[in-house]
Amino acid sequence: MGFQVTIVGSSGAVPAFGRHPSCQFVQVQNRCLLLDCGEAAQMQLNAYQLPLHKINHIFISHLHGDHYLGLMGLLFTMHLQKRTAELHLYSPRGLDEIIVQQLKHSNSALHFNIDYTAFRTDTPQCLLDDEAITVTTIPLRHKLPTAGFLISEKTKPLRIDKNQLMPGMKLQHIAQLKQGSDVVDEGKTLYRAADFTLPPRPSYTYAYCSDTAFAEEVVAQVQGADLLYHEATFRETDREKAGETLHSTAQQAAEVAKRAHVKKLIIGHFSARYRELDGLLAEAKDIFPETLLATEGRTFDLDAHDS
């Protein structure tokens, strides 16, 4: 499995015109991550046949309701369907209290353990670091403590050139070559890694910037990302409203993408005042042509450079 981002919800504060509050499903190297979990998240996951029970890490950007109110429903469904695997939940401080209170007053105890990580939002913090990926917070500028998430693949292993394999080669030798090590026996080189391997497949970076006013400091952290999601709640005619609510316009999102030299931009978190989104897209594309709309059910495949 490669690196795919599926839009589960793309609306702003309220559902509107078939759009639902923020939620994205990310599959990267057989890992399933959820970014925000707005209302109707589990219904949308089911609608798009996304494997909710494979989700082991959920990242909540901030505690405005449209970014987490779908979480309890999802947790109870996992519970009712007998999930036992531990779930890792990341958010600014306070989400664990919200969940504990709801479980308390519903007299419920989940079948699975939740490992809570409360992160600061004033400085980048690494939340997940395994053999394949890292997830680091992106401090954002909003009315509540808020952070986006930078998902980065580590350098992938070398690939074996199957055309160069020789009869009698042992599996452990092939595994050793894939690690970039020559196979040596009693001081004699049997196989050189350079003769049997191809360069690693490309590694990709995805930056998710949820609710935020335009922030210069974001530009440096998302520099060169293969794919950037940046909220674009308002059109330019409503720039004053964007400033009051600490949100961004489509042009401001595009300006971040342009300055950061990202490869592609997705805009979302659309205000309910807009039935049609073509105007938002046009305003962003005027500044950053490689802009796409975050529309429900759309999957962006970084390996395929999906458009």
Catalytic residue among 36, 66, 211, 226: 66
DSSP per position, the chain: --EEEEEEE-BSSS-BTTB-SSEEEEEETTEEEEEEE-TTHHHHHHHTT--GGGEEEEE----SGGGTTTHHHHHHHHHHTT--S-EEEEESTTHHHHHHHHHHHTT---SS-EEEEE--SSS--EEEE-SSEEEEEEE--SSS--EEEEEEEPPPPPEE-GGG--TT--HHHHHHHHTTPPEEETTEEEE-HHHHEEPPPPP-EEEEE-S----HHHHHHTTT-SEEEEE--B-GGGHHHHHHHT--BHHHHHHHHHHHT-SEEEEE-B-TT-S--HHHHHHHHHH-SSEEE--TT-EEETTTT--
Verify whether residue 211 is a known catalytic residue: no
Residues annotated as catalytic (active site), given as ranges: 66
